[in-house]
Amino acid sequence: MGRQYHLTEAEMGTLRQAASARQARNRQAQSVDRIIARGDPASVLFERDLMGLMGEYALLVKLFGLPYSEDYFVQDQWAKTHDFEINGVRGEIRTRTHARYSFYNLTAQMRSDVGVAAYLVDGKTSTGRVAFAGWLTKATFERHSYVARDRHPGWKGNGYLIHSRHLEPIRTLPEYIRGNVNP
């Protein structure tokens, strides 16, 4: 198990509000309609957004010690943006319900320099417990990723996975980024 963080009820309340704001923006951009058309029930979307925000919050606020800012958290999931940029290093955070296979991406190439694999310790958002399986570079992902459906026939959607053995320990990410970040 990687480094673990327990988010307080106040922090979870803030993230629930951010998840609602993200859904409102996605609804305006018709992104939610695309997800529903893909077959995901609307009731799952809020939990998915909240789960993602929990991973982002745990990395940026808890691990890196950055101040909370709405700018980190309210964005269209279909936007061509990164989850964070610190000292010129752009990153994506993928939060899943379980650690298993770690980092997931829709394409064989990541758009960011690094990827961070996070997961819910208890498999649900309600406990507020997030851990990190590790992180990887864009080059590592491109070298070792595989088509998800090839190894997991029941996988919904298209995309690429990378096994956790290719991840670096999360404690080395601040070192990689090097700068004014206090882990």
Give the separation between CA 152 and CA 56, rounded to whole angstroms: 26
In which band, very low, low, confident or very high, does the pLDDT at 42 lie, cut at 50, 70 and 90?
Answer: low
Split at pLDDT 50, 70, 90, the class of 15 is very high
CA 28 – CA 177 distance, rounded (Å): 35
| Dihedral Cα 48, 146, 159, 98, nearest 10 deg | -10
pTM: 0.84
Residue pLDDT, tens place only, 161-173: 898 899 999 999 9
Contact 55/116 with Cβ under 8 angstroms?
Answer: yes
Looking at residue 158, the DSSP 8-state letter turns out to be -
